[in-house]
């Protein structure tokens, strides 16, 4: 996708924009394919993969966003097609996207009440089997709510390392970077933010003021509670976020052995702990399915691991 959006020989100067586009086009792919298929002359299912992605990118820009003029979206898509597919295919891209500008298409996520799972699935860009199951279980209204909720753009969540920075200084720094933020209503020192790139380039990152921490992962720390003086194992610890939060919140009163079976991922854990200035964790390369571990009070197993 980077070669599609920026061109093969151009430096990716806006990685956050690229990530946004990849995630959004993936999120709305079924809907985009449905719209394109409805105006495509021929069998869209047989179109080569690279051309489909260019058409999806162009259609997404035309339907969902208004930052770029329509003519510029079409022209750039044609250029990409010429560069990455063929001259002949560039004419097809031009025709499809220009036709899209002239026709009426269903608004994304909007659908009248229906018992047809295919209609709802395409409008909300969800797998048809999933929509069919939800319609049977929950009915139309609740299924539509679920689909719309799934299509929301999630915020990023970061945990503030309260040992390294005061709350006021942290919040002032985040605000000064032009980042919108709000405190978690559930977990202390967890913040919802709308951007990460400037934060990663800030002094706060280098000084270990924060780490990215998903809300669901942070909840694990709450389950452990304030059990002081315990031995804790984190046997699938990479990339180290949960380990770091537990180590800071419980301090030197807890003994933590963190492990992962992948040496490269263990190195990342060590780098995270070093950046956050955390020293009360022992990190080892170990395989929890076969290696020996000490008897412990609490064992964290993040499985199946998605990393």
β-strand partners of 281: 256
Concatenate the DSSP letters of all residues of 216-254 into one string: HHHHHHHHHTT-TT-EEEETT-TT-HHHHHHHHHHGGGS
Q: Which fold has domain 2-100?
A: N-utilizing Substance Protein B Homolog; Chain A (1.10.940)
β-strand partners of 224: none
pLDDT greater at residue 213 or residue 19: 213
pLDDT tens per residue across span 90-138: 999 999 999 999 999 888 988 877 778 999 999 999 999 999 999 999 9
pLDDT at position 2 over 70:
no
Strand order of the β-sheet with 190-193 is: 181-183, 190-193, 156-160, 210-212
pLDDT tens per residue across span 224-255: 766 667 889 999 899 898 899 989 988 877 88
Tokens of 197: 């790139």
What's residue 17's pLDDT? Answer: 78
Q: Could you state, in order of their start, the residue ranges of all structural domains in the chain?
A: 2-100, 117-150, 156-213, 224-300
For 190, the 3-state DSSP assignment is: strand
Beta-strand ranges (E) seen in 60-170 are: 156-160
Nearest Cα to Cα of residue 44 among 58, 32, 33, 31: 33
What's residue 8's pLDDT? Answer: 44
The residue assigned the tokens 């020293």 is 279
pLDDT at position 7 over 70:
no
Q: For domain 156-213, give the CATH number.
A: 3.30.70.1170
Q: For domain 224-300, give the CATH number.
A: 3.40.50.150
Tokens of 54: 């260019």
pLDDT greater at residue 35 or residue 227: 35
**pLDDT interval class at 191 (50, 70, 90):** very high
Calculate the CA dihedral of residues 263, 240, 292, 230 and round it to 10 degrees: 160
Cα separation, 211 vs 221, in Å, equals 15
pLDDT at position 72 over 60:
yes
What's residue 304's pLDDT? Answer: 66
């Amino acid at each position: 996708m980077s070669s599609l959006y920026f061109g093969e020989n151009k430096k990716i100067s806006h990685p956050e924009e690229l990530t946004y586009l990849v995630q959004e086009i993936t999120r709305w792919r079924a809907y985009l394919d449905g719209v394109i298929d409805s105006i495509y002359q021929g069998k869209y299912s047989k179109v080569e993969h690279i051309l489909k992605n260019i058409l999806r990118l162009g259609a997404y820009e035309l339907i969902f966003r208004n930052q770029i003029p329509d003519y510029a979206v079409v022209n750039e898509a044609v250029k990409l097609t010429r560069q990455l597919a063929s001259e002949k295919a560039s004419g097809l891209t031009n025709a499809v996207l220009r036709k899209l500008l002239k026709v009426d298409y269903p608004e994304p996520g909007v659908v009248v009440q229906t018992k047809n799972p295919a209609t709802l699935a395409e409008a909300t860009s969800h797998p048809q089997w999933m929509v069919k199951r939800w319609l049977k279980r929950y009915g139309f209204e609740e299924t539509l709510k679920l689909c719309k909720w799934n299509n929301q753009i999630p915020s990023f969540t970061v945990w503030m390392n309260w040992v390294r920075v005061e709350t006021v200084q942290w919040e002032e720094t985040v605000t000064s970077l032009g980042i919108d933020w709000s405190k978690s209503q559930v977990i202390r020192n967890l913040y919802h933010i709308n951007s990460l790139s400037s934060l990663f380039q800030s002094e706060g990152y280098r000084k270990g003021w924060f780490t990215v921490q998903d809300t669901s992962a942070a909840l694990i720390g709450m389950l452990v509670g304030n059990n002081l003086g315990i031995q804790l194992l984190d046997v699938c610890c990479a990339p180290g976020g949960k380990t770091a939060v537990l180590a800071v919140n419980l301090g030197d009163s807890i003994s933590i052995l963190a492990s992962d079976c992948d040496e490269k991922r263990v190195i990342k854990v060590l780098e995270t702990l070093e950046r956050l200035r955390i020293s009360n964790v022992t990190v080892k390369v170990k395989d929890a399915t076969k290696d020996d571990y000490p008897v412990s009070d609490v064992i964290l197993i993040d499985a199946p691991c998605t990393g």
